[in-house]
Amino acid sequence: MSQANNSRFPAWSPKALLRNRAFLTVAIVILVWIVAGFAKPGFGSYGHLRYLLELAAVIGLVAIGQTYVVIAGGIDLSVGAIVTVSAVGVPLVALSGDGGGAFAVLIILAAATSIGFLNGLGVAYLRIHPMIMTLAMATFLQGVLILIAGGTAISAQNPLLAWLGNARIIGIPAGVLLWAVVSGAALAVLHATPFGARLYALGANPLASALSGINVQATTMAVYAVSGLTAGLAGVLILGMNGQGYVGIGDPYLLASIAAVVLGGTSILGGSGSYAGTIPGAILLVTITALITVVNASAGWRSILFGSLILLLLLLSGRESQRR
């Protein structure tokens, strides 16, 4: 029993810390912030860092579901479309008797969760490869959204969202607080519940998990539903920060969420990693983007820099060690 405990909570040592990907990513973020703070006046100011965290909160929320799905051995290419569904959908379902705006938000979150659930249904029961299922879902949603919402931006008159996007509690933006709370819950579910343990088992070896009595279908559907829910939350937050939603608003968050997951050390093959690494991964991603914007370069050079930095960071942190 004591041995099992030891393997789960290894004794603290500097070496173990260096091998911990989540810690490594945090260290890289801090290093980049310190260097950039000295090199560029204003970068290290509280206001700027707080702004970076607000941007990271959206990516971080989308990346919760993406981390879950990737750990369970899948991938979700529909998160960008679901973010758009929720950012465009909240103004569309606005009801007259809904003064606080909470009802519209709840409806949309339920809709986002059911879209994720449908993804899970296709993956679990129709046995469609996750990449195909979620890609087809994204294509489908994109068409439906343009048919319903058209090409114009839709403004939201929703007090709850306005508060979420602009309020500061003790100087901390509400969006960042939301991210912190949801992250805490996500980490707890991942590391301290049977559901979290099933995700790792499913990602490591689906056949063995099925044979050892895990309900693979139910777990798969649940994990995609979680992904839909967190993408929906992110869409609500963007709408609050932006004031209006339009078709395509969520597109950048698909690749950003995958990049954050991988930069945080979660294996794209499934079965290992943690959301604890994805959090600094998301912050690292927005920091890189901000640094590139600070460097006064043309659009082409900015794009090249961004791609090269992701490759470089991948070499440092996301290397797949155990193949062949």
Partner 1 sequence: MSSLTRTGDDRLYWRAQGERNRGLMGLFAVVAAFLALYAYLFPGLLSVAGVSKFAQSWLPLALVAMAQAILMLTGGISLAIGATVSLGAVIAATTMSGYFGVAGGIVAVSASGLAIGALCGVIAIRLRLPAIIVTLAASFIIGGLALLILPRPGGAIPGWFSDLLAGNTPAALGLVFLVALLWKLYLATPLGLSLYAAGENPVGAYRAGVPVDAARIAAYAISGLLSTLAGLFIAAQTGSGDPVIGQAFTLNSIAAAVLGGVGFLGGRGTMRGAIAGSLLLSVMINVMFFLGFPPVAQYVAQGLIIIGAVALPQLTARFRRRP
* Residues found near partner 1 in the complex (CB under 8 A): 75, 122, 126-129, 131-133, 135-144, 146-147, 255, 258-259, 262, 268-269, 298-308, 310-311, 314-315, 318-321, 323-324
Per the listing, tokens 């980049």 go with: 32
Comparing CB distances to partner 1, the nearer of 47 and 151 is 151
Exposed / middle / buried, residue 302 (Cβ in 10 Å: 0-12, 13-18, 19+): middle
CA 11 remoteness from chain centre: 30
Per 3-state DSSP, the chain is made up of helix, strand and coil in percentages (nearest 5) of 75, 0, 25
Q: Which of 96, 107, 87 is CA-nearest to residue 153?
A: 87
What does the CA dihedral 143, 144, 145, 149 come to, rounded to 10 degrees? 120
Q: In angstroms, rounded to a whole number, what is the distance separating the alpha carbons of residues 186 and 188? A: 5
Comparing CB distances to partner 1, the nearer of 162 and 309 is 309
The nearest distance, CB 267 to partner 1, in angstroms, is 8
Comparing CB distances to partner 1, the nearer of 175 and 280 is 280
Comparing CB distances to partner 1, the nearer of 101 and 120 is 120
The nearest distance, CB 231 to partner 1, in angstroms, is 17
The nearest distance, CB 146 to partner 1, in angstroms, is 4
Comparing CB distances to partner 1, the nearer of 60 and 270 is 270
The nearest distance, CB 139 to partner 1, in angstroms, is 4
Contact (Cβ atoms closer than 8 angstroms) between residue 115 and residue 78 = yes
Q: In angstroms, rounded to a whole number, what is the distance separating the alpha carbons of residues 314 and 324? A: 20
The nearest distance, CB 194 to partner 1, in angstroms, is 29
Comparing CB distances to partner 1, the nearer of 141 and 190 is 141
The nearest distance, CB 201 to partner 1, in angstroms, is 20
Neighbours of 252 (CB within 10 A): 14
